């Protein structure tokens, strides 16, 4: 599992032919790992599949998982603990989100792929949502669950404009016909369940 951050962009249409331009350690180390995996295909024909994963979401299994920095988890935790959601930015930033259950299904299906020097795929839903979109989803689930409306506060000082991002998964869809799921409400509820238990 690599990351779409190896492209170093947060706007436009991104496919596997997009120039690689990592801009931080996280992206650079993943790109190095890709090269390392490919090296073993060249030297001893070890089969491989590399997935450049976008932002996966799903409730953590454990309360102390350390994954509360992930966007959806963070928004739900804010709603639960503060009874409001305060965004660090203006909420316009868009990201591709993919449900972790879909990630697991695609990875399982990839076990049947043939060994190939071109087994690099974007693993994305090809649907982008703004952080504000997700905050509104959390707000709606909170209202239904707790019968109370919470406020969403955005950082009005942040004047960043909306950048459209599409992480194309067409190459993957040629090998694995797959309908990607919208499990936001389910996972938001699962995260609330986890927080309530603890």
Which among 109, 130, 8 has a CA at the least distance from the CA of 51?
Answer: 109
Please return the burial class of 154, using the count of CB atoms within 10 Å of its CB with bins 0-12, 13-18 and 19+.
middle
For the four alpha carbons of 113, 119, 125 and 126, in that order, the dihedral sign comes to negative
> Mean pLDDT throughout 48-62?
95
Give alpha helix (H) positions in the chain.
25-44, 71-82, 100-110, 131-146, 170-175, 184-197
- Report how far apart, in Å, the C-alpha atoms of 24 and of each of 2, 6, 69, 70 are: 14, 9, 18, 18
* Band of residue 114 on the pLDDT scale cut at 50, 70, 90: confident
pLDDT at 54 over 80: yes
Element spanning 169, H or E: none
3-state SS string for 120-165: EEEECCCCEEEHHHHHHHHHHHHHHHHCCCCEEECCCCCCCCCCCE
pLDDT by residue (tens digit) across 129-141?
999 999 999 999 9
Element spanning 51, H or E: strand 50-53
Of all residues in the chain, the percent with pLDDT exceeding 90 is 80
pTM of the model: 0.91
Identify the pLDDT of residue 121.
96
């Amino acid at each position: 599992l690599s990351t779409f951050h190896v492209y170093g962009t947060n706007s436009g249409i991104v496919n596997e032919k997009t120039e690689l331009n990592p801009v931080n350690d996280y992206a650079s180390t993943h790109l190095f790992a890709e090269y390392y995996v490919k090296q073993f295909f060249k030297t001893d024909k070890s089969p491989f599949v590399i997935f450049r994963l976008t932002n996966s979401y799903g409730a953590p299994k454990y309360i102390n998982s350390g994954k509360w920095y992930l966007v959806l988890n963070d928004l739900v935790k804010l709603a639960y603990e503060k009874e409001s959601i305060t965004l660090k930015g203006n909420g316009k930033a868009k990201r591709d989100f993919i449900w972790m259950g879909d990630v697991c299904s695609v990875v399982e299906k990839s076990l049947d792929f043939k060994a190939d020097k071109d087994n690099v795929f974007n693993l994305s839903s090809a649907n982008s949502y703004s952080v504000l979109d997700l905050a509104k989803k959390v707000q709606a689930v909170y209202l239904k669950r707790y019968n109370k409306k919470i406020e969403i506060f955005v950082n009005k000082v942040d004047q960043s404009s909306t950048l459209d991002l599409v992480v194309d998964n067409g190459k993957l869809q040629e090998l694995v016909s797959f309908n990607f799921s919208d499990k936001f409400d389910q996972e938001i509820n699962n995260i609330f369940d986890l927080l309530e238990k603890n």
